[in-house]
Every structure is written in C-alpha cells, then in structure tokens.
A and B are shown apart, each in its own frame.
Chain A
Amino acid sequence: MPNETLAQTSNTLFNIAFVTYIVAMVAYFFRLAFTRVSVAGVTSSTVTGTRIGLVGTALAVAGLALHLVSFVARGVAADRMPWGNMYEYSSGMALLVVAVGLVVVQRRFGYGHLMGFLLAAAVLMMTSGLLLFAEAGPLVPALNSYWIRIHTSSMMVASSIFIVGFAATALYLVKDTGERRVAASGGDSYTGSTVGAARLTPVEPDARPEGYEADGALAVSVASPLAQREVLSPVLFPLVPGVIAALFTLLVWRAPVAAIIAGSVAALLGTAAWYAVPYLPPAAKLDNLAYRTIAFAFPIWTFGVMTGAIWAEETWGRYWGWDPKETGSFFTWVLYAAYLHARSTHGWRGRKAAWVAVVAFFALMITFYVVNLFIVGLHSYAGPGLV
C-alpha cells in the first residue's frame, strides 16, 4: 500500500530540488558573465564570479541531496523501485544528469561552465516529469519482476549519460563553429582533424592574398576568443532551439502555454550558449567529453536492451517482437553505434559525427516521449495495457 505521507514528502522535496536547481542554474550562468577570458583562451573568474560559482555549486549539491531523498522516499512510499512510470523515470534521469554533471563534468573534467546547461537539461526533464505526474502506486503485474531493477535502471542511467553527451555535443558544435569562423576570417582554412580538434592549417601559399605573410596561424591565436562570439548569429542561437522546443512541446503535450514557456526557456538557453562560447573549453575537448560520455553510456544501453529482451521473453513469451518501444530502443542503439563508428571513420570525424550524435539523441527523445505517449504498444502509456 502506498505510504501517503512519505509520497507527499517525496513530492515536496522534488519541488524544492526543482527550484534549487533553477537557482543554481542561474548562478552558474551568472558566473559566466563574471568570467574573463585571456587572449590565450585561459578563463578566469572575477572575485564576484568565483563567489557566485561557489554558491551555484553549493546549491546544485544541496538540490541533488534533496532530490536523492525525494527519489528514495518515492520508492519507499510505493514499496518498489522508484522507476515505474514516466514521472519517476524523468526524476531519476534528472537526478543522474546533475550527479554526472557535478562529479564527472565539473569535478573530473573541470568544465564548470557546462554545469548551467546540464542543470537546464535536468530542469527540463523534471518539468516533463511534472507534466506526466502520477501518484505513487503499485505496478501492473507484467512490470512486477526483478528485471525492472536491472532493465529499467540501465536504460535510465544510459539515457541520463546520453543527455550529458548531447549537451557536450551541442556545445562542441557551437564552439567549433566559432573557432572555424574566427579561423576563416583570419585567412586560414580550417580542416577537421582526428577528433574534431581545432587544428589550424594555413591555406596553400598560392591561395593567399598578395602581401600576406606566412603567420596566419599566429594571427588567429592572437585573435581574442571573444571574437568567437562575434562570428555567431545572436538571432539564430535563441531562435532555433526556441522553435524546436516549442514545436516539440506542442506536438507532445498539445499545450500552447507550455510550448511558449518551453520555447522561451530554450531560447534563453540558446542565448546562454551563444554568450558562453568564448568561455567553453576548446572544441576538441568538448568533443572528447561527448565521446567519452556516449562511449560510457553505449554499453549500458546495450545491456539494457538485452535485459529488456530477456524480460520480454519471460513476460510476453518472446524476446523481441518489434513492439514500438523495442523498435525505438533499437534505432537509438543503431544511431549511437553509427556515431561511434563515424568517429573512427575518415571524412566523418568531428562535425559530421557530432551531427550523428545529435540525431541519435533526438531518436532517444522520440523513444522516451513520443513512443511512450502516442504509440500504442506493450510498453505504451498512451492506451490501456502494460507500461
């Protein structure tokens, strides 16, 4: 029997964590504004910036702790693993995104400037969770298996790491565009290198304008990183994510108000990305972060798909039936596999591979939202039947 008090506590803590994350996100973005970047690309925060950054980190850690308590309480209240419906799953993903962000991205890689974006991702996850809220309750018999601990948790862990990977990929594409354009304006051609590393190679001597000396690369490195912002359109950056998020929300929830809010939030994030370009780690490092996170999540996703097949065999008597959710997890897997392959293929490394990762992430989102909510299948949340 669900424990009402505990379930209520869990909901309250969820809301507090939600607000805490938003404040932490704002603090992280403020820290960006108080950052100075030297010609050599070294970033440093002003005293105020450092203080705000510390506040942001403290809030993120506190929010994470509250969120964790909320998550566990939900499980205790329902007397089962707390990932039995889309609300709980979204909450778990957000929790893991913040945890991975703090531990891996900020602490291990030292890319604190990315945390604002990861917190934004977590907040978006939690918002979608609130829209899909369900009371703590028991599960249908088909879900009542120990496989839910293994299969669903692997999918949740893998998805959240894929989200971090997507943030890194998107920021890589932004930073790389900035680096490229600055390089191009400096008279150099830019060739994609092994892992999308920003490598500047001077153009062929005879292609240079008259009187141009052979120190083009130097000219580029002397150009301020702030120039990377100037070469990017301040209109497109809020516009594109805003429109995508608004359309997606309109499509999934058919709620115009929510679509406007989601669109504005995405537009703000786009502006933040545009503003943050000079302070972001070099494109090559972002690409490396994206690769490492996706390569970490991919085996987990593979394991999740496999355990899902084993569970399906036990519940439905077949290991694979091309149920929409199975198909969704399959094409997500194929696209991430394509990303990993693309990254080791000539002519695909760097930006092209990153776009594959972006497509793969959209596939993941389709698998989670669209397939769950709109397409009737055995996993469906849209019609009657099993979750």
Chain B
Amino acid sequence: MTETLPPRERVDPPAPRGPRLPDIPGPVETLGLAWRRLRKMSTALVLLFALALASVVATFVPQEPVIARTVELWRAGTAGPGAAWARVLDALSFFDVFGSWWFLAITAALFTSLTGCLFPRYRAFARVVRRPPAPGRGLDRQAHHEVLRTALPPTAALDAAETVLGRYRRRRVEAVDGVAQIAAERGHWREGGSLVFHTAFYLLLVGIVIGHSFGFTGQINVAEGSDFADTTVVYDQAKPGRFWDAGDHRGFVVRLDDFDVSYHPDFTPKDFVSTVTILEDGQEVRTTQVRVNHPLVYRGMKIFQARFGMAPRVVVRPAGGGDALFDDRVLLTQDGPFWVGRAKVSAGNPSPGDGRDPVPQIALDLALVPDAAIVDGELRINSPEPRNPRLAASLYAGQDLGLGRPEPISSLEFPQSDLVGQAMLTPGGSADLANGLLTVEFPELDQWSGFQVSHAPGRRVLLVAGMLVLVGLIPSLYSYRRRLWVEARRDGERTDVVLAGVALQRQTAFADEFAEVRDTLEAALAGPAPLRHAPAVPTPQKETRR
C-alpha cells in the first residue's frame, strides 16, 4: 500500500472576506476526506488488525456453520459462558463471524483501501518502468563509489562495463560535463511484485465469489448395494450456491458396490475405501474406488469419501408371518465402541376411521457391537471389525413417540413406558417382542459409506490467484531498487573509471553486490587488453565493507 502519503491537512486558504461561516465540510469534501483517510496505510493496518481480531473471536467462539451443535449447547447454556452471554454473542453475530455484516464491512473496507492504494501505484509504476535509467551526478558523493584505472580507452572501458552490468537495465548517456556514462538500474520487481501480490487478492475474491455463487455441496450416506442419484432431493445438508439450481445437478446415479475398512491395532481406522459404479440412464459407465484423499471426479462433480458406518438390515413383521412393516438397512453411527441408530417402523395413525383402534407409532432403537465378549461380567471389545456382531434392539410403541415432528429421530426422547421389548440378536436371528405381537429379524449386516458430493467452480481461479500471491510476494520482499553508474574519463595514457551506486532498500545486501560488481568490473577492465607495464597501476582504495 502507499508509502507516500497524501497530506492530511492542507494549508488553509487566505481568510475569505465577508461573513465567516463555520468550517463544515460539504458532502463532497467529506467523501474526499474519507477517501484519503481510507487510502492511508495506517488505516489499512487498523483494518488488518480488525480482521485478525474477528478471526480470533471466531476461533474461541464456536461457529454455527462449522459446529452447529456446540453453538446450540452454548445457546441453551449447557456449554460455554451461559445463555445470557450467548444472547449477547448472538446479537453481535459472534456465532457466525464470517457471515456477519461487520466482517463483510471490514473486508469491503480493506478492499476499498487496497483499491485506493493500488491505482496511484499502478500509474506511478508504469511511469517509473518506462523511464530509462537517469544519469547520475556527483558520483563521488554517492553512498558507494570506487575509482578504477585502466589502460582501455573510455569507450572500450564502458563496453566492458556494459557486459559486467548485463543483468541491469542500462543506457549510455552523456553526463553534464560531456563525459560518457552508463546509467543502470535494477529491482523494479520489488514494486512490481508487490503490485502482483496485492492484485492477486482481487482474483482470490473473484474465485471465492464464483465458488459461493455457482457451487454446490451435499452430504449423502448410502448402504452397500444401494444407490443414489445426483438430484436436489437426495442430499442431506445440501448447501447450494446462490445461482445453483435443480437443473444443474447431473442426474447420474452412484451405486455403492462395496465398502472396506481396515484398522490399526489401536482400533483407529487405517483406511476406508468405497467401490462405486456410476450409471447413466441405467448403463454402467465407470466402476472405481473412492477413498480418503482420493476423490472421484465425474462430470464436474467431486465425490469424496467422508464417513462410514454399520448398516444392519432389520425386518419388523407381525408375529407368525405376514407383510413386513419395516424392511431396511438402518445406518448406524459410531458412539464409542458401539454403533447406534434408530428407525421409524410405523408412523402410526391416531384415527384410521371405520371405528378401528388407533395404530400406534412404532420405533426401533438399535445398538451394535461389532466384536465383543462379556468377560467376568464386563464388556470387552475384541476388535472394531464385525467378526462377531451383536445387535441390541429396543422396540418402542406408543400413541405419540414424536415421530410426526420435524426434528430428527435421533434427538427424540422415547418414554420408558413405551418400551415394549428388547432383544439381543445375531445375524440371521430373530426375536418376538411386544408380548409376541411383533417379530424383529436381523438377517444380515452390511456397511454404509458417507460421501460429500460437491461442485466447486472457481478453484482454478483460486489456484492462479494463490500462485500470483507467491510470485508477487517473494520479489516484493527480496528484490530491491538500486542504481549504478559507470563513468569513464580519459586521464592521459589511462582511463579513470568511476563506479558509483545507491540502493533504496536492503543496504547490506547492496554493499555485497556493489563489491562484487566492482571486482568483476576490475577484472573486465584488466582482461582483454593487457596493461602495458602494469606494475605502475596503483591499487584502488577499497572501501571498507559494512
């Protein structure tokens, strides 16, 4: 951002004649004042601090888009500083810092400030880059200077110097007193790099906006052998971008053929892999594996391996046969060594009409242990793999279990009085529950796999922006503006070559570079045409290096 600051206060114009009015700036002046203020580097610094502070808040206060559950607990007062404080935090949008109006305002102000800084700098940079190196005056007064003597004539000496200064932008000029001079400069990449770095943030913003507007992210869990189609309705927690609509879904079908998980000896998962087949219009298109860190990309949609779990198939039917009330695989989630989940067996019907009794709501509460044994009255987990699965099924039936309510079944509280039976099942086993009215069967145990399906446009833009950030950043920190001048003046038989230089930044680095140039130049001046009777040449005084 700008280093040269515009004057904050102008010199007052001569006092106007006539009645004096109070100095109230008009709207235009106020805007101008605000603009100048915003362009100042110190303003940008304050805005950067505000941005950092906002992020610190977002680190310590749980964020709703990241962990909504913790935020709920904070609001309820069961976690965090209490419900009253949570209300204050809510009023300040502290639970969604990055979606709050004030965070947007800080970002907008930063970008405005950046724009205000950058445009004058672009203009200045274009001017400076086009301008050829300026001839130097008073070379012996420059921060670094050195006089070398050579037998070469001035033109040849300057030719030699041009070779030495190969990496500099240079030109031959005639200095004030008619002496030939090379003016050279280097290090425009400092400012250029800084401009690239800062400009890349606009591109970064564009990439983020594209992703948020035209992207889509959805979560889906599917049991082995089942499939899902890429359509709007299928996803849990779908996060479509503002301009993403139902027609943008590709409509292909993903079938989970197989799921595999392997474990470390400490029971933590080592790797989990889904084998999936993609179908278009019922035709198999591709069969491939999706694993962590190796997503599947198909028609612009990326399918990531996200979660997994146990999916026992459970059948509930009236005792003594008959049509099943429920026959499906229940997706269980991990809870310590157990896999737990619930299934809605019957939604019930309080008034079926025709004078029949109301049909109760029926639900199953399941807990699965993959491989455990009871040793000395204590449960011992042998392995996380389903070598010896046991399914604990609890059947609830009641007039109102809450199944009709919109909240997820897992968060319902089933009254203990509605528990009508419990059974421990092995694969292939069954049990009669509810006074022998219902049979619960556990025919087989499958697994399920959870995917995140997303379409994230603008990623390439972001990648390019990121590269530009780095490409700009490095020269803006390491490159430095420096100027060198070489003057050759005939002095009888010999030529005095004056080398002078100055650096705008990184003085110590330049001192080294100047010494190097000096040494190379000395060698070049001595090189092609050997000096006649060389011993007479006095050794030039070497400047002490700092």
Q: Which of A123-176 contact B (CB under 8 A)?
A: 137-138, 140-142, 144-145, 147
Do residues A330 and B55 form an inter-chain contact, with CB atoms below 8 A? yes
A341-375 vs B, CB cutoff 8 Å, 1 = contact: the mask equals 11011111000000000000001001000010001
Say which size band chain B's interface belongs to: 35 or more
Q: Does A317 contact B (CB under 8 A)?
A: yes
Name which residue of chain B comes closest to A337, CB basis. B48
Q: Does A275 contact B (CB under 8 A)?
A: no
Most chain A CB neighbours (cut-off 10 Å) among B52, B70, B291, B463: B52
**The residue from B52, B266, B462, B508 contacting A331, defined by CB atoms under 8 A apart:** B52
**The residue from B44, B67, B454, B473 contacting A299, defined by CB atoms under 8 A apart:** B473
Q: Which of the 9-residue segments A63-71, A224-232, A320-328 touches chain B?
A: A320-328
Q: Does B503 contact A (CB under 8 A)?
A: no
Q: Which residues of A contact B56 (CB under 8 A)?
A: 331, 363, 366
Q: Which of the 9-residue segments A3-11, A45-53, A202-210, A308-316 touches chain B?
A: A308-316
Q: How far is the CB of B55 from chain A (nearest CB, A)?
A: 4
**Contacts A334-B55, A342-B45, A345-B3; is A318 near B66 (CB within 8 Å)?**
no
Q: Which of the 9-residue segments B120-128, B269-277, B338-346, B378-386 touches chain A?
A: B269-277
Do residues A345 and B474 form an inter-chain contact, with CB atoms below 8 A? no
Q: Which of the 9-residue segments B57-65, B250-258, B410-418, B532-540 touches chain A?
A: B57-65
A interface secondary structure, majority: helix
Q: Does A295 contact B (CB under 8 A)?
A: yes
Do residues B59 and A318 form an inter-chain contact, with CB atoms below 8 A? no
Q: Which residues of B contact A310 (CB under 8 A)?
A: 463
Name which residue of chain A comes closest to B462, CB basis. A319
Most chain A CB neighbours (cut-off 10 Å) among B5, B66, B271, B304: B66
B466-505 vs A, CB cutoff 8 Å, 1 = contact: the mask equals 1001100110011000000000000000000000000000
Do residues B269 and A140 form an inter-chain contact, with CB atoms below 8 A? yes
**Contacts A324-B59, A345-B3; is A377 near B473 (CB within 8 Å)?**
no
**Contacts A331-B56, A337-B48, A338-B49; is A303 near B470 (CB within 8 Å)?**
yes
Q: How far is the CB of A293 from chain B (nearest CB, A)?
A: 12
**Contacts A137-B266, A306-B466, A327-B55; is A341 near B44 (CB within 8 Å)?**
yes
Q: Which residues of A contact B42 (CB under 8 A)?
A: 345, 347-348
Q: Does B316 contact A (CB under 8 A)?
A: no
Q: Does B456 contact A (CB under 8 A)?
A: yes
Q: How far is the CB of B205 from chain A (nearest CB, A)?
A: 13
Q: Which residues of A contact B304 (CB under 8 A)?
A: 315-317
Do residues B473 and A298 form an inter-chain contact, with CB atoms below 8 A? yes
Do residues B58 and A141 form an inter-chain contact, with CB atoms below 8 A? no
Do residues B270 and A317 form an inter-chain contact, with CB atoms below 8 A? no
Do residues B473 and A302 form an inter-chain contact, with CB atoms below 8 A? yes
Name which residue of chain A comes closest to B467, CB basis. A306
Do residues B66 and A338 form an inter-chain contact, with CB atoms below 8 A? no
Q: How far is the CB of A290 from chain B (nearest CB, A)?
A: 14
Q: Across the A-B interface, give the 6 residue pairs with the lowest CB-CB distance, nearest first.
A: A331-B55, A317-B304, A141-B292, A317-B452, A338-B48, A145-B293
List the interface of chain B (C-beta within 8 A of A). 1, 3, 5, 41-42, 44-45, 48-49, 51-52, 55-56, 58-60, 63, 65-67, 70, 98, 217, 264, 266, 268-272, 291-295, 302, 304, 306, 452, 454, 456, 459, 462-463, 466, 469-470, 473-474, 477-478, 508
List the interface of chain A (C-beta within 8 A of B). 137-138, 140-142, 144-145, 147, 288, 295, 298-299, 302-303, 306, 309-310, 313-319, 321-324, 327-328, 330-331, 334-335, 337-338, 340-342, 344-348, 363, 366, 371, 375-377
